[in-house]
Chains A and B, each alone.
Chain A
């Protein structure tokens, strides 16, 4: 088994590509840079495919995940964090999505970034991101996972601020990084608690230990150790995966180049939180409270972000809020215990959201950099390939049968419906969010591709993108269509191959009975109806290209994103800045720290000024001082003898 035994090759290839491009690429023509970047990513994808094939055989023989320690990283006392890689069904899905979609986006980027400065830098960062993301999904312990977790955060920061001369871009990069750090703080506390409880950070040890100790499921409304661990891990996930209350960085992250938005802020990195929750499913299933919190946060985010997405005018921002909303669905799935459905949606979402972003990039490319949908319109006949691909992505995300989004979203809503704690409410909100999803996506289609052109037709020469951009689009469009079919037979009572594949990780696929099956059919019909409702409303409102209306009331609140950024500014950032400036800077730094340092210096000067008068340069006075010193030392040494003599003499 070559690749499984040398699993580190999969992440190492992109790292090599990143290092080569980063160190040498600045002198090279774009062509060589592209070949290095594409070659390393493509090889990595091939290795991942081979690893999946080999793992199939390995699993038949051993019936457990493949874990291999490569070297010790940190060893201290009974703590060990090693460079251990793991391969199981969940890793297989993630690794294929990361390398596969990543490879397609790399191809696309060679076209999209062709005329941008910093070409080599872009690909170096992008490959570095692939490296960290693969470390994240291949890690066999929480510590190594955290390395990947922080690494992708770093690459996200670097790529959001790629156009670093633009103030808004560098601000957005900082915002993403800082908001993520807040979540990471919780993640680290979660890791500490895990180690304290189980004396290990290895996935296998921790999960075996849960079974061995026969730990009880902590009931609803209690805050036991498992609940604390899971809530802290979930705090990390809310940061990385842009959930309430830490979602604010993702829409701003759209400042980065569009392929970055597609790869990092839609398809892969932002799903890391979902991956962690799914990976720790054995922890989460032991606490009802944390699961409920995950479900509620996920559901609320799905709805909340969808409402904001309704009225955004920037094409990429609509997609950004859509991403936040879809991530909410994934957490909803995990929260109600349907981890398989969550990962399924993660995969299909990676396909169609990458497709949507890349198509949006193609539109922006075609129309010369315009991102505002009110400056587009009527593009369908001019850029046909992009239009059809984007339409496929839209149908997929809206949830029309037989596109991928239908199957995954359906599975999530069905699981929510059957959840015992207020499942019907979660289902209802999720369904309403599905209507909203369908609405804002078709609104985007109408405003962009139909209605009257609102750009200057004399100056803007609309042109279709080159082949290396459209071919990845077509592949992704195909994947958005067929990506859900693995689960399709379940619809007519057959087998859900995807769920069965992941069953070893998530502890057995639930096989629904016949009555549940008919219920699922009804719910599927309702979901499709919801998508149709959204489509019709969008068609009625925007087919004639409604004008950007006066903003008032609820409309204004939605357009301004519920003023959440302003709220954070007033309650968190403002006081923190005030405190930093007036207390930490002016009092602590300038007063205490600088005061101490300067005080010591001026004290030394003053002492020196006084004492230097003893340095008279007169040899004989020095001799006197030496004599005095000698007498003093003499007196100290012989004090025990002198003391009784002197004191006695006085007496």
Chain B
């Protein structure tokens, strides 16, 4: 059996990759994928704890996270499509109309 530590380590690595991707990339779709990556890293940690503690709470939580992520993806992709149409670009640095 794989020890819980390993799952957690993998989860932390995935989360870190997600952050790095979110902070350093400019393409909106990449940012979006980074967020999904972070969400799934958290899901992994939840499942791992659920397994090690022998309680189903974590798994239930993961289901909620997946649902929310799906909703977020729907809204987020809609926004991305509109942005792409209006600006002809997917660079976040150029979406700055509200800036002073």
Contacts and interface: CB of A to CB of B under 8 A. Distances in A.
Contacts of A618: 93, 96
B98 A624 contact: no
Interface string A615-633: 0111110011001000000
A5 B22 CA distance: 87
B87 to A, nearest CB: 15
B19 A623 contact: yes
Nearest to B98: A617
Contacts of B99: 616-617
A627 B19 CA distance: 8
A623 B19 CA distance: 8
A620 B22 contact: yes
B23 interface: yes
Contacts of A620: 22-24, 31, 92
Interface residues of A, number: 8
A481 to B, nearest CB: 92
A618 B22 CA distance: 12
Contacts of B93: 618
Nearest to B23: A620
Contacts of B19: 623, 627
B interface SS class: helix
B23 A617 contact: no
Nearest to A617: B99
A617 B24 CA distance: 16
A interface SS class: helix
Given A624-B23, A627-B19, A619 B98 contact: no
Contacts of B22: 620, 623
A121 B92 CA distance: 74
Interface in A604-651: 616-620, 623-624, 627
Contacts of B23: 620, 623-624, 627
Contacts of A623: 19, 22-23
Contacts of B24: 620
Given A624-B23, A627-B19, A619 B92 contact: yes
Contacts of A627: 19, 23
A571 B93 CA distance: 76
B79 to A, nearest CB: 12
Interface in B49-100: 92-93, 96, 98-99
A617 B92 contact: no
Nearest to B25: A620
B16 to A, nearest CB: 10
Contacts of B92: 619-620
Interface in B5-44: 19, 22-24, 31
Contacts of A624: 23
B60 to A, nearest CB: 24
* Max chain A C-beta neighbours (<10 A), residue from B22, B96, B98: B22
Nearest to B92: A619
A624 to B, nearest CB: 6
Contacts of B31: 619-620
Contacts of A619: 31, 92
Interface in A116-156: none
B75 to A, nearest CB: 16
Contacts of A616: 99
A616 B99 CA distance: 7
A619 B95 CA distance: 10
B93 to A, nearest CB: 8
A620 to B, nearest CB: 5
Given A617-B96, A620-B92, 17 more contacts: A616-B99, A617-B98, A617-B99, A618-B93, A618-B96, A619-B31, A619-B92, A620-B22, A620-B23, A620-B24, A620-B31, A623-B19, A623-B22, A623-B23, A624-B23, A627-B19, A627-B23
9 contacts: A617-B96, A617-B98, A617-B99, A618-B93, A620-B22, A620-B23, A620-B92, A623-B23, A624-B23
**A-B CB proximity, top 4 nearest:** A617-B99, A620-B23, A623-B22, A623-B23
